[in-house]
Amino acid sequence: MSAVDTAPPVTAFLLIKTMPEWLAMTPHERVHALDTEIMSAVKAKTTGVRSRFYDTEFYSARVTDVWVWEADDHNAYQLLIDALRETPFWDRYFEVVDILVGTENGYARTYDVAPVATVST
């Protein structure tokens, strides 16, 4: 199988809302907790995952943050979610409001057409 034929990464948008325990910490305590309690578990139990974190609390009352995860495949994604669920991130520091999972431009691969929603100006 060539690089062109490989499956696209799995992208998950975790819509999350901060919990009182997280908000009671100072910003430095939050960074330390994120690094030592959450990211260390993810790094120990997964490979092939990447993330970006977006603050949304000043635009949304429903969620305070969106944590975007990209996984090389569905197995890597499953291991990621399992790892996160075993940390204080899940239901202690944050409420997971929703998870939206997809693959970028999946319709284009399905129908063998160029992506129409990708724009660079």
The CA-based dihedral angle spanning residues 47, 49, 97, 23, taken in that order and rounded to the nearest 10 degrees = 90
Percent of the chain with pLDDT strictly greater than 90: 78
Higher pLDDT among residues 116 and 31, named by residue: 31
Could you read off the pLDDT of 10-49 as tens digits, one per residue? 999 999 999 999 999 999 999 999 999 999 999 999 999 9
The whole-number pLDDT of residue 6 equals: 67
Residue 84's pLDDT band (boundaries 50, 70, 90)?
Answer: very high
Domain 8-111 CATH assignment equals 3.30.70.3420: yes
Residue 1's pLDDT band (boundaries 50, 70, 90)?
Answer: very low
Domain boundaries, the chain: 8-111
Residue 91: both structure tokens together: 């239901």
User: What CA–CA distance (Å, rounded) separates 88 from 92?
Assistant: 5
Count of residues making up the chain: 121
Q: Are 57 and 64 in contact (CB under 8 A)?
A: yes
Residue 4's pLDDT band (boundaries 50, 70, 90)?
Answer: low
Match 């990464």 to its residue by tokens: 9
Could you read off the pLDDT of 92-111 as tens digits, one per residue? 999 999 999 999 888 888 89
Please report the beta strands in the chain, taking only residues with DSSP state E, as ranges in sequence order.
10-18, 49-55, 65-71, 94-102
pTM of the model: 0.87
- Amino acid in position 33: A
Residue ranges in 34-105 assigned as alpha helix (H): 40-45, 74-85
The whole-number pLDDT of residue 5 equals: 60
CA-based nearest residue to 16, from 58, 70, 59, 57: 57
| Phi–psi pair at 36, nearest 5 degrees | -85, -30
Chain center to CA of 121 = 27
